[in-house]
């Protein structure tokens, strides 16, 4: 398929670089300042070098990438809360042209699910967002195949950085501030890690799952999630858990239209007690028991690979 | 879709009972002795009661179910090794009528993959066998979406009974014979558990995975698997592993066209070190890291649910 990629950070660049090995052509690539468009296929390497050297992707305005010739828009701009703009506008523009959208940005489906669904229903294009929930394994289409009314609940560890920090705290018996400084030194954590450690990212995933599961097509946003992060957990709480053969994880849970993010204790051998930067999503399926997908929190390249596998799942619109 | 179900044991009966709640109609049901066929829909409850009371499913010969009106054959007869008959003949007959086949029987794709593939290529019907590998989550279609050339290897704990026995041996420090007797008393293990504990079942899963992954369309069977089961593991080996923070699991592995089933030691916190009757399948994906699916070994009802979700994934032929 011809791809237009909106967002030219680490993930967008990786999608552009790997696209041809998946049989796709990049016909447009944009960041928030400019775009390059070429119906014959963008010269990805030279564009990435130009952006690195000059900060500029191309000579066209950003919006040109939204109106280029493509079958699938890969939307990988940074998450925004509130009205999830400009991501939602990008999604709508692609759908109006009967193009598919694959999201690497959780905002549009976490914050404005109903709007996105209504626009998708009126379009030949589909909006796909498996990769932001479970990577290359399609949890959301499994929910669809099984029937959402048979999913009793979903829970898991959705954020790899928060899990890395908690694992380190438990293993070393040291406090949050100390392991955060260590992770920042190693380049694992941003200078401002609040999006990960205060539960915002986990809450966005909860909102997406609740939207997909809702039998009444009720709309959920992050406002509907009860959120508690990991910054207030004392090292002593982890020690106490350890003495009981238990451990603490930042769990996201969706059940009976209740959405919750909070540190919870789990048995050491629970399939939810993933270690290091691993994440896990567990479905509780009526008559099929519990099924979970575990993976390492993706690097930019890994998320790009999952997004391209997701493009491969879509039929030509 | 209209379903014909071949095999009327616990799984076949559960598929028949749950089919209508997935929007399907059972137009035929057979065991090895007889069949019932009704284009308007079989009265499932009365057939199951008749089989329970008299041992007879219906008044037609078994083969009538293969030639009934249906869009999808659900093949849930017992696994056979060697030429995997009569399973293979069932698959061929459905494909000749341009019908789909969903397999609950590993034999045809573990032992005669090339024949099955060739017949499927000449048919409008598809042969689907996700559930016998990973339950409701579609590992095999993920391999297809990502591209099999990008899968560096697959490994996992594929047999729940073997894992239950090993977990008990490690936790209690007792030998194989003792935990087996316990499992037999609890009804978890058959009187003859050799299919599970000697590695045969795990080897069949390896063969299926190797067939799906083979870039040269080389054919694998259980003859190509190096197999070592769990019956010879002394309790002392588990104790030694425990002292090192490790544990033993019966792993199946497929990598570089090498197929192997053997007990292996793993770190206690490995995502492969699943406990109790859990199983896990882990894909090693180029540029996407390791992704695994963990679930509890399915009961008959749980396998039936996965098979019906699999039917839902197929388009009308």
Structure tokens at A230: 């990991």
How far apart are alpha carbons A161 and B64 in whole angstroms?
Answer: 58
Beta strand B258-267 with B225-227 is parallel
Query: B7-25 pLDDT, tens per residue?
Result: 999 999 999 999 999 999 9
* B306 touches A at CB < 8 Å: yes
Distance (Å) from the C-alpha of residue A30 to the closest C-alpha of chain B? 23
Query: A123-176 pLDDT, tens per residue?
Result: 999 999 999 998 888 899 889 888 899 999 999 999 999 999 998 888 887 888
- One DSSP character per residue, chain A reads -EEEEE--SHHHHHHHHHHGGGT-EEEEEE-SS-EEE-TT---HHHHHHHHHHHS---SB-GGGGTTSS-SEEEE-PPP--TT-TTHHHHHHHHHHTT-EEEES-SHHHHH-HHHHHHHHHTSSS-EE--HHHHTTS-HHHHHHHH-GGGEEEEEEE--HHHHHHHHHHHHHT--HHHHHHHHHHHTSS-S--HHHHTSHHHHHHHHHHHHHH-TT-----GGGEEE--STT--HHHHHHHHHTTEEEEEEEEEETTEEEEEEEEEETT-TT---TTEEEEEEEETTTEEEEEEEEPP-HHHHHHHHHHHHHHSPP-
- pTM over cut 0.80: yes
User: Under 8 Å CB-to-CB from B233, ≥6 apart: which residues?
Assistant: B166, B169, B176, B248, B263
Chain B residue numbers touching A136 (CB-CB < 8 A): 142, 145-146, 283, 285, 288, 291
Chain B residue numbers touching A22 (CB-CB < 8 A): 147
Please say whether the dihedral angle defined by the alpha carbons of residues A300, A305, A308 and A310, taken in this order, is positive or negative: negative
What is the model's pLDDT at position B250?
A: 96
| Cβ within 8 Å, pair B275-A289 | no
Mutate to test the interface with B, among A171, A304, A309, A312 (most CBs of B within 10 A): A309
DSSP-derived 3-state class of residue B13: helix
ipTM score for this prediction: 0.84
Query: For A251, phi and psi rounded to 5 degrees?
Result: -100, 140
* A313 touches B at CB < 8 Å: yes
Distance (Å) from the C-alpha of residue A295 to the closest C-alpha of chain B? 4
Confidence of residue A119 (pLDDT cuts 50, 70, 90): very high
Confidence of residue B170 (pLDDT cuts 50, 70, 90): confident
Mutate to test the interface with B, among A131, A133, A136 (most CBs of B within 10 A): A136
Distance (Å) from the C-alpha of residue B242 to the closest C-alpha of chain A? 14
* B147 touches A at CB < 8 Å: yes
Structure tokens at B232: 């010879």
CB A66 within 8 A of CB A90: yes
* B170 touches A at CB < 8 Å: no
Query: A24-44 pLDDT, tens per residue?
Result: 999 999 999 999 999 999 999
Chain B residue numbers touching A310 (CB-CB < 8 A): 145
* A149 touches B at CB < 8 Å: no
Structure tokens at A212: 């997909």
Plot region of A287 (φ>0 → left; ψ -120 to 50 → alpha; else → beta): left
- Is the confidence at residue A233, as pLDDT, over 90? no
Chain A residue numbers touching B299 (CB-CB < 8 A): 289
Other C-beta atoms lying within 10 Å of the C-beta of residue B149: 10
* A20 touches B at CB < 8 Å: no
Distance (Å) from the C-alpha of residue A142 to the closest C-alpha of chain B? 6
Per-residue pLDDT, averaged over B105-124, amounts to 97
What is the model's pLDDT at position B145?
A: 87
Please say whether the dihedral angle defined by the alpha carbons of residues A97, A102, A108 and A110, taken in this order, is positive or negative: positive
Distance (Å) from the C-alpha of residue B276 to the closest C-alpha of chain A? 10
Query: For A266, phi and psi rounded to 5 degrees?
Result: -140, 155
| Cβ within 8 Å, pair B287-A302 | yes
- Is the confidence at residue A317, as pLDDT, over 70? no
* A291 touches B at CB < 8 Å: yes
Confidence of residue B317 (pLDDT cuts 50, 70, 90): low
What is the model's pLDDT at position A177?
A: 87
- Is the confidence at residue B314, as pLDDT, over 70? yes
């Amino acid at each position: 398929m011809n791809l237009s990629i909106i967002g030219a950070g680490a993930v967008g660049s990786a999608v552009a670089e790997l696209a041809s090995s998946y049989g796709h052509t990049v016909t447009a690539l944009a960041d928030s300042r400019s775009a390059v468009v070429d119906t014959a296929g963008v010269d990805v390497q030279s564009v990435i070098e130009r952006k690195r050297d000059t900060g500029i992707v191309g000579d066209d305005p950003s919006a040109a990438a939204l109106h280029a010739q493509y079958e699938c828009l890969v939307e990988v701009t940074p998450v925004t809360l509130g009205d999830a703009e400009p991501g939602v506008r990008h999604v709508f523009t692609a759908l109006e042209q009967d193009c598919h959208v694959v999201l690497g940005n959780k905002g549009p489906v976490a914050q404005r699910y109903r709007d996105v669904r209504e626009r998708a229903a009126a379009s030949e294009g589909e909006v796909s967002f498996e990769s932001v929930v479970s990577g290359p394994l399609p949890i959301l289409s499994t929910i669809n195949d099984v029937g959402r009314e048979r999913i009793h609940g979903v829970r898991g560890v959705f954020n790899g950085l928060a899990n890395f920090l908690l694992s380190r705290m438990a293993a070393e018996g040291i406090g949050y501030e100390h392991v955060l400084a260590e992770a920042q030194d190693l380049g694992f954590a941003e200078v401002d890690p609040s999006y990960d450690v205060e539960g915002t990212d986990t809450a966005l995933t909860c909102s997406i799952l609740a939207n997909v599961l809702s039998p009444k097509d009720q709309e959920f946003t992050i406002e509907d999630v009860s959120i508690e992060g990991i910054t207030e957990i004392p090292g002593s709480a982890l020690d106490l858990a350890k003495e009981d053969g238990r451990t603490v994880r930042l769990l996201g849970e969706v059940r009976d239209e209740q959405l919750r993010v909070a540190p919870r204790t789990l048995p050491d051998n629970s399939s939810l007690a993933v270690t290091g930067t691993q994440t896990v999503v567990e479905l509780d399926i009526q008559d099929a028991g519990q099924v979970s997908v575990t993976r390492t929190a993706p690097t930019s390249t890994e998320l790009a690979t999952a997004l391209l596998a997701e493009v491969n799942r879509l039929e030509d619109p």
